A and B are shown apart, each in its own frame.
Chain A
Amino acid sequence: MNNLSPKNKPVAPKSLKVNVINQLKHEKRMKRIFLLKSFSAAAAVIIVITVLAPFLISSNAKANSKEYISTAIEKIIHSNNLSITFMVRTEANENFSYINPQNEFISTTFLRSFEAPFLWRIEKQNGRTALFNGEKIYIWNNGSNVGYINGKEGESGILEDYYTLLEPQNLLQRELAALSSKNAKASYESNDSIITLTISTKAQGTFENSYLLNSSIAESDSKRTYIFDKANKFLIAFSIDIKIKDNYVTIVKSEEIKYNQQLDWSKLNSIPNIEWKRINQINENVSLKNISADQAAKFILSSLERSDFNSISEAFTYYDAKFIKDTYCGLKIISIGKSFKSGLYPGEFVPCTVVLKNGKRASTNIALRNDNHNKVWCIDGGI
């Protein structure tokens, strides 16, 4: 024996195992409501659909693929409008990028005018809708009393995605430029009537922490299949599969693609009569800026523990204040873990376990981001 052999050996607290298991169980099923992300994600989906995402075509298929994609893009943008009905494994009120291979398919419609004022609308059946009316972008969930509105173009970084969407020529050039990349595989098949192009790409983002892996198309190893009419070169169908372990699972498949339809734009342009908040305008709160995500999470949860919602109301700009106060004020903090980043999400996740005032224990990864004008940390997912 010696004085380096401890007499006291600490025993792991019960919360250690609970925290680990809760975090792992929560990873796949956590509902995310990344409002800001939903715009760029919607844009990503639309990019995939409308310009066929010719990401990174392999050299073997490149020449034929490039020709068909270029032609198909021109066919689309020279149309007056485009309407697509497709099925997605997702949840109705989740953001547009959210996918879950375990979910049932939900019907989604996308409508876009290629004539001024370049309207578009994407709508999950009985769920989330986003609308660009030529001036502003609106987003709302079915049944919600609050919707979000984006202001003038160029007001925030996320507008750049819309800008790309609204400028098909630029988009065309950008996507064609991507053909020169070598970071993916493509196959090309042809018969008498159709051309089938399949593109496989790796998950985008950093997955040192795999929390967001397979939570969106971009954040998954994916395989996209596009079918073109050989005669008129229009896109007539597409599907997107993501790789789970060694198997591909179809998570998006088109039902119908129509060009140059007579559309009722007044109906497409309609928005519900609810409260509208500016999406990227987070009011100043000095307590929630110039700190780390961990500190922000601790400050927010501590304030809720004291039922002091006023001190952190800006953190819940994307939520219904009454719901947050009713549900979370008076909670008791059990643990707050270390923040981590995952996938393409621009913010950070902070694991935490709390006991709500109704006695229910809840473990989650709070999604925090501060990429707003005032650099204020706000929550947009995980609760």
Chain B
Amino acid sequence: MFNIGRNKKIEELEKIIDEYQDQLYSFAFYRVGSFDVAQDIVQDAFIKLYHNYPKLSEVRNIKSYLMKIISNKCIDYKRQLKHPLSLEAALLKEDESARPFIEEFFSINDVLKELPDEQSEVVTMHLVDDLSFVEISSILEISVNTIKSRYKYAIEKLKKSSKFKEYEYDE
């Protein structure tokens, strides 16, 4: 009796993993800069989703729920780091095929460090993760207007930085 319900739930989870794993993995990677850590965090998020809900079909916005968990875990991970990883050290930890991703991670973070954390998070979600302001609002549990406002001030600040190269952006 128990196996039947459980197996069905695992099948549901498999479909959810198939649908979201790439986006979530990228989401985590561009916050922690490590494939291994990103994988661990995303795995933990799926497992937490499974355990926290008796029925996965009852979760209202699974992507937002998972991204919120992952975002928090990434913040926790970065807080635990005594020293931010350097590009050289990060490259040493990964194989050569990871180089473009690692370099891009550092390049993006070099620009974002000009911003306060709350603005940086909004910009990352919109430009790096391709999330809409409504989606960001759902994940951060902040009104859409506040999200737009933070984004606007962030972009204005970035425009004054020589590191930010903009072609055009949409609100």
Q: Known: A2-B166, A11-B22, A12-B39. Contact between A244 and B13, CB under 8 A? A: no
Give CA–CA (A101, B5) in the complex, Å: 14
Taking A8-B104, A12-B42 as known contacts, 17 extra A-B pairs with beta carbons closer than 8 A to each other, sorted by chain A number, are A1-B168, A3-B108, A3-B166, A4-B127, A5-B127, A6-B26, A6-B108, A6-B128, A8-B100, A13-B35, A13-B39, A16-B43, A17-B18, A17-B21, A28-B6, A210-B51, A244-B2
List of A residues within 8 angstroms of B18 by Cβ:
17
**Secondary structure class of chain A's binding surface, majority of residues:** loop
Enumerate 8 A-B pairs (CB-CB under 8 Å) in ascending A order. Answer: A4-B111, A6-B104, A7-B104, A17-B18, A20-B43, A21-B17, A23-B47, A102-B3
Per-position 1/0 for B19-58, Cβ under 8 A of A: 0011011100110000100111011101100110010000
Give 6 closest A-B pairs by Cβ, nearest first: A12-B25, A12-B21, A4-B127, A2-B166, A1-B167, A3-B165
Interface residues of A in 15-45 (CB under 8 A from B): 15-17, 19-21, 23-25, 28
B101 at the interface (CB under 8 A from A): yes
* In-complex Cβ contact of B108 among A4, A20, A209, A210 (8 A): A4
List of B residues within 8 angstroms of A3 by Cβ:
107-108, 111, 163-166
Give CA–CA (A342, B154) in the complex, Å: 42
* In-complex Cβ contact of A9 among B6, B22, B163 (8 A): B22
Query: A351's closest neighbor in chain B, by CB?
Result: B43
A-B pairs with beta carbons under 8 A, tally: 101
* In-complex Cβ contact of B14 among A15, A21, A23, A28 (8 A): A21
Q: Give the size category of A's interface with B.
A: 20 to 34
Interface residues of A in 83-101 (CB under 8 A from B): 101
Q: Is there an interface contact between A245 and B43, defined as CB atoms closer than 8 Å?
A: no
Q: For residue B81, give the distance in angstroms from its CB to the closest CB of chain A.
A: 15
List of A residues within 8 angstroms of B123 by Cβ:
4
Give CA–CA (A12, B128) in the complex, Å: 17
B59 at the interface (CB under 8 A from A): no
* In-complex Cβ contact of A24 among B10, B101, B107 (8 A): B10
List of A residues within 8 angstroms of B26 by Cβ:
6, 9-10
